[in-house]
């Protein structure tokens, strides 16, 4: 994968991906709360960019290699990379959900990653807009709409209750992401993609 990333994004991008992977290896034995914070901080060092600017598409979900290789992405890409990193650190898949929310102050839709310490707990939210990891009840600026993980899809009936509506198999963006094995070339060669390891 490093060779493919180096070919498509340059040597600095490959170094960035190597740094990402080394950090995850070093964090394997840390407490879960520390892993959450470090993954959130690591991902949030990347640039916030629109899909249109980066991929020439209105809605493109990048793999972790694409996100780290390109040096940035939009809210879905931040959340997917954090989801992937925490799975690699041994967090159980059922404890993680990608959550579409309405960012009330921005009046736009946004994605965050939720970590559930217990199935019925109020989740902790990892977000690229707010670097602090806070429980969902401490984020009145976000109104959840629906959430999903690699197996299931939920619709929110209110801020803190969601209802399962089945498996994720028909969610096309998620399926495309899961089946993409090679990084795509960004539309633009952005200057930060050639920068130093973040």
Q: Tens digits of per-residue pLDDT, 22-74?
A: 999 999 999 999 999 999 999 999 999 999 989 888 999 999 999 999 999 99
Which residue in this structure is represented by tokens 């994720």?
A: 168
pTM assigned to the model: 0.89
Q: How far apart are CA 70 and CA 193, in angstroms?
A: 5
Residue 154 lies in a domain: yes
Tens digits of residue pLDDT in 94-111:
999 999 999 998 889 999
Q: In this predicted structure, what is the pLDDT of residue 198?
A: 30
Domain ranges, residue 118: 2-180
CATH of the domain at 64: 3.10.620.30
Q: Is 74 exposed, middle or buried (0-12, 13-18, 19+ CB in 10 A)?
A: buried
**164 located within any domain:** yes
List the Cα angle 97/181/170 in 5-degree steps: 45
Helix (H, G, I), strand (E, B) or coil at 48: strand
Whether 92 is covered by a domain: the verdict is yes
198 falls within a domain: no
State the alpha helices, DSSP H only, in 56-165: 64-70, 75-88
Q: Using an 8 Å Cβ cutoff, are 177 and 159 in contact? A: no
């Amino acid at each position: 994968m490093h060779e493919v990333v180096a070919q498509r994004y340059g040597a600095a991008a490959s170094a960035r991906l190597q740094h990402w992977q080394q950090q995850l290896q070093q964090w394997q034995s840390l407490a879960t709360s520390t892993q959450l914070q470090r993954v959130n901080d690591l991902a949030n060092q990347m640039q916030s960019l629109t899909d249109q600017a980066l991929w020439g598409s209105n809605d493109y979900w990048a793999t972790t290699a694409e996100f780290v290789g390109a040096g940035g992405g939009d809210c879905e890409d931040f959340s997917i990379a954090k989801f992937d990193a925490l799975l690699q650190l041994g967090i159980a898949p059922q404890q993680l959900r990608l959550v579409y929310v309405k960012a009330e102050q921005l009046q736009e839709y946004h994605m965050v990653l939720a970590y559930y310490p217990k199935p019925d707990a109020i989740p902790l939210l990892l977000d690229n807009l707010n670097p602090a990891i806070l429980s969902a009840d401490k984020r009145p600026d976000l109104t959840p709409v629906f959430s999903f993980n690699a197996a299931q899809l939920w619709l929110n009936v209110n801020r803190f209750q969601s209802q399962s509506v089945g498996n994720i198999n028909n969610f096309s963006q998620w399926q495309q992401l899961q089946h993409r094995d090679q990084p795509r070339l960004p539309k633009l060669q952005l200057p930060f993609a050639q920068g130093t390891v973040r």
